[in-house]
Amino acid sequence: MTRVSTAARADLLAGEEPLGIRVDGTALTMTMRTPGDDVELAAGFLVGEAIVRGRDDIAAMKVCDGTTCGHLDHTDDEIGNIVDITLAPGAAMPQGARRAFMTTSACGVCGKTSIHDICVLPRTALSADTTVFDPVMLTMLPDRLREAQRVFSATGGLHAAGLFTASGELLAAREDVGRHNAVDKIVGWAVLQDKLPLSGCALLVSGRASFELVQKAVLAGIPLLAAVSAPSSLAAELAEEAGLTLIGFLRGQSMNVYAGAQRVAV
């Protein structure tokens, strides 16, 4: 009979807490996220919702500390977990933009009321971006992203997104319990750096490439989205329509190109 031994030990777990996003004093959504880079997450979320196009559309952003955000009825749990955003004159939330209920760390389109709400294309087509990416360079990106995943190395429980130049230079990497949050943090970083649109860049995500991630990449002006796993059928359809290069199963020395093959030099 095999003898089983047990032992108690400490373990590190990835953090997950709710984050509320308010725009001009109105609650927009509540999402579950890994704390950190919250202002970036909120800014990137607004881009992915087609509420803002860049830094000029945002007048102010701040994490609520219970005293400076204009609301005095916060609970202790809310302090530090709400980002208040003031839009610049001329920018406004589209009709019906407010999410109907809280989104989880696994869902970026929860709360949308119709298929028309989630099909958003940029004002300028990605087809104008003629950047060409070396496939050999693309196969190196997963290892470069993994090297930047500090929290994943300690916990094994986070998704990641990395933004790269066409030559393979890592511009930014972010981690989160949600894939869409990690991408929002990358896009939000670009917003705060006034770098949108992200022409000539490649976005790599851990896991699969869903419709929501394609839309976030498209609205940020990123011409290439790659994932280590599979895309969904709707993701491939939107990528084709928007002019995005979509790559899946980027593992080892191989990859599948589902849309925009003209940007991959063969």
Compute the distance between CA of residue 214 and CA of residue 224 in angstroms, rounded to an integer: 9
Q: Are the C-beta atoms of 49 and 23 separated by less than 8 Å?
A: no
Compute the distance between CA of residue 119 and CA of residue 109 in angstroms, rounded to an integer: 11
Q: Are the C-beta atoms of 213 and 67 separated by less than 8 Å?
A: no
Question: Exactly one of 107, 110, 119, 201 is catalytic; which is it?
Answer: 107
DSSP 93: P
For the sheet with 26-33, list strands across it. 26-33, 17-23, 82-87, 58-63
Q: Which two tokens stand for residue 214?
A: 């394609």
Angle at 228 between CA 107 and CA 206, to 5 degrees: 45
107 is catalytic: yes
Active-site residues, by number, are 107
